[in-house]
Amino acid sequence: MTLVYLIRHGENDMIGKRLAGWMPGVHLNERGRAQAQALARALADAPIRAIYASPLVRTMETAAPLADLKALKIVIRPGLGEVRPGRWQGQSLKSLRRRKLWPVIQFAPSLARFPEGESFLEVQARVVAELEAIHRAHPKASVACVSHADVIKLAVAHYLGLPLDLFQRLSVAPASISLLSISDGHARLLGLNDTRAAEPPGAG
């Protein structure tokens, strides 16, 4: 059994404003950096043996305090990377919500493909393939995978047997932890969208 800590990156200044996608240089903001430190403290006693992350800077910055604490190297895995939104990358969410594709993304995402970008089916296939490879590499260990909201939701939906068209009903907040147990031919969701660990001291 592989115990996978699926961690969404911490907050950055584009969340809720623009679709960051694979834009370079999207760093954690002050609160995001505090969340990353809090995550590391919360997972200090977890028997994590490897840390994997999306190639994007916001995930690497989220993983860094945990990697320092555990004296582990962050292993970059492109399969954990954000959805590639093509021409939508960098655009404001306010303008994107007016596009004809927006309701399809929200209510029938299995039919959606971003203009010159990925489909949700493709993203789900690659993240599941990545997690299965990680499971094979660590069949009896705990690992951390730092990724992105939709990517984590798509992985969880797969392992729950949830139709892709319902994956948007799941919530994965910044700096949240979702816990997945993967065995050969069997998986269990042990926790979803736990944000308590990442609350900086004095928050709440």
Instruction: Name residue, tokens 């789900």.
Output: 124
Which pLDDT tens digit goes with each residue over 165-187?
999 999 999 999 999 999 988 99
The DSSP result for 131-182, as a single string, is: HHHHHHH-TTSEEEEEE-HHHHHHHHHHHHT--GGGGGGS---TT-EEEEEE
- Ranges of the chain with pLDDT below 70: 199-204
Which pLDDT tens digit goes with each residue over 141-170?
999 999 999 999 999 999 999 999 999 999
User: How far apart are the C-alpha atoms of 156 and 43, rounded to whole Å?
Assistant: 21
Q: Is residue 179 part of a domain?
A: yes
Share of the chain above pLDDT 70, in %: 97
Q: Is residue 28 part of a domain?
A: yes
Q: Is residue 203 part of a domain?
A: no
pTM: 0.95
Question: Of 69, 66, 35, which is closest to residue 51 (Cα–Cα)?
Answer: 66
The pLDDT score that the predictor gives to residue 21 is 97
Q: Is residue 204 part of a domain?
A: no
Q: Is residue 50 part of a domain?
A: yes
User: How far apart are the C-alpha atoms of 73 and 83, rounded to whole Å?
Assistant: 24
The pLDDT score that the predictor gives to residue 204 is 41
Query: Domain with 39 in it: what CATH number?
Result: 3.40.50.1240
CA dihedral 131, 135, 140, 142 (to 10 degrees): -20
Total domains, the chain = 1
∠ CA 193-108-160 to the nearest 5 degrees?
A: 40
The pLDDT score that the predictor gives to residue 152 is 98
The end-to-end CA distance of the chain, in Å, is: 35
DSSP classification of residue 198: G
Q: Is residue 161 part of a domain?
A: yes
Domain limits for position 87 = 2-198
